[in-house]
């Protein structure tokens, strides 16, 4: 059995409280202006506090955060050269004259820090909460039923499509008798197309199965009872106060 959350009697937050805390923190974090590294450091400390409260498996959290961080890192790689400002240094690569600006570097580091802290906080939320709790938590914070249901269905069929894809890949590999990436890649492209067609078929069958059980276009989700204990509200209030304080520090340029 793989453990993804640490048992701990001190805090016992429900999914709704976790979602509210995580989303609010990310919202305030994203609204930070560029170059305020001390403020971002405060958010990083806050992120660690959140992780301690949410109790995910830390090793897993760090691994996942680093892995996910590669995406924003690769996406923002051109920021230092794509912004105007004082030129710090210049490269001449054949026809390209590339200039790294101070402004570009500031935005680059701000984006990276913001994305890392956001990933860290959201990963703590996802790792420490079961998938169902998370989806029911979304309902509890009044995300529209249709949206939650779509997420439910996407989540449910992600596994089915993954399994079909795996089976399809095995079927292809079992009939390739010579190492040829060209043949393999060509067949995998066909498989992707095939999965798309299959998913249409499946969607039709699912709709039929829903229709046969009285589906009238409305989703009536049976919501699970969550005990909203006093501690959850106290923690949410504390976090809101901390976030507002950080925002005031940023606006008044105290640090």
Partner 1 sequence: MNNNIIIEVKNLSYKYRSNKRINDKTEAVRIYKDAIAGVSFTVKKGEKISIIGPNGAGKSTLLLNLAGLAEQNNRNGEIYISGKILNDKNMYDLRENIGFVFQDPNDQLFSTTVFDDVSFGLVNFLNKKKDDKAQDKEFIEKVVRKSLAEVNLFDVENDMPHFLSFGEKKLVALATVLSYNPEILFLDEPSSNLDPKNRCDFIKLIKGLEKTIIVATHDLDLAYEFSDRTIILNKGKIIFDGVTKAILKDKDFLEANSLALPLMFNNTF
Structural tokens at position 214: 């009285």
Report the b/e string of 115-134 with b at 16+ CB within 10 A. bbbbbbbbbbbbbbbeeebb
The pair phi, psi for residue 100, each rounded to 5°, is -95, 125
Region of 94 (left: φ > 0; alpha: ψ -120 to 50; beta: rest) is: left
Residue 140 in contact with partner 1, rule: CB under 8 A = no
Using the rule CB under 8 A, give the single segment among 115-123, 130-138, 165-173, 241-249 that binds partner 1: 130-138
**Closest to 235 in 3D by CA, of 29, 57, 13, 25:** 13
According to DSSP, the residues that pair with 186 across neighbouring strands are none
| Angle (CA) 245 250 255, round 5° | 100
Structural tokens at position 169: 């890949």
Residue 132 in contact with partner 1, rule: CB under 8 A = yes
Q: Which of 41, 75, 141, 160 binds partner 1 (CB under 8 A)?
A: 160
Residue 1 in contact with partner 1, rule: CB under 8 A = no
Residue 150 in contact with partner 1, rule: CB under 8 A = no
Using the rule CB under 8 A, give the single segment among 21-29, 43-51, 150-158, 232-240 that binds partner 1: 150-158
Residue 139 in contact with partner 1, rule: CB under 8 A = no
Using the rule CB under 8 A, give the single segment among 90-98, 170-178, 184-192, 217-225 that binds partner 1: 217-225
Q: Which of 9, 175, 222, 252 binds partner 1 (CB under 8 A)?
A: 222
Total residues at the site for partner 1 (CB under 8 A)?
A: 28
Q: Rounded to the nearest whole angstrom, what is the least distance from the CB of residue 210 to partner 1 in the complex?
A: 7
Looking at the Cβ atoms of 160 and 189, the one nearer to partner 1 is 160
Q: Which of 141, 215, 238, 255 binds partner 1 (CB under 8 A)?
A: 215
Q: What is the DSSP letter of 76?
A: T
Site string for partner 1, 28-67 (x = CB under 8 A): ----------------------------------------
Structural tokens at position 97: 């004259």
Strand segments, DSSP code E, in the chain are 87-93, 96-101
Using the rule CB under 8 A, give the single segment among 92-100, 184-192, 199-207, 230-238 that binds partner 1: 199-207
C-alpha distances in angstroms, 91 versus 77, 88, 110? 15, 11, 23
Binding site for partner 1 (CB under 8 A): 131-132, 135, 152-153, 155-157, 159-160, 202, 205-206, 208-216, 218, 220-223, 225
């Amino acid at each position: 059995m793989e453990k993804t959350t640490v048992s701990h009697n001190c805090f016992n937050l429900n999914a709704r409280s976790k979602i509210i805390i995580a989303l609010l923190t990310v919202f305030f974090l994203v609204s930070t202006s560029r170059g305020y590294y001390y403020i971002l450091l405060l958010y990083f400390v806050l992120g660690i506090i959140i992780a301690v409260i949410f109790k995910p498996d830390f090793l897993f959290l760090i691994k996942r955060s680093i892995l996910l961080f590669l995406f924003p890192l690769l996406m923002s790689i051109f920021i230092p050269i794509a912004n105007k400002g004082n030129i710090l240094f210049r490269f001449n690569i054949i026809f390209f004259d590339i200039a790294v600006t101070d402004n570009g570097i500031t935005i680059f580091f701000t984006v990276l820090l913001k994305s890392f802290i956001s990933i860290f906080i959201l990963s703590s939320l996802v790792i420490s909460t079961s998938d169902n709790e998370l989806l029911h938590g979304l309902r509890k914070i009044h995300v529209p039923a249709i949206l939650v249901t779509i997420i439910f269905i996407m989540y449910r069929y992600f596994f089915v499509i993954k399994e079909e894809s795996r089976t399809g890949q095995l079927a292809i590999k079992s009939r390739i008798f010579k190492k040829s990436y060209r043949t393999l890649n060509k067949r995998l492209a066909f498989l992707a197309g095939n999965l798309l067609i299959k998913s249409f078929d499946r969607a039709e069958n699912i709709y039929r199965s829903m229709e046969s059980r009285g589906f009238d276009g409305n989703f009536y989700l049976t919501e699970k009872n969550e005990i909203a204990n006093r501690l959850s509200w106290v923690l949410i209030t504390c976090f809101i106060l901390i976030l507002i304080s950080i925002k005031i520090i940023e606006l008044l340029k105290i640090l």
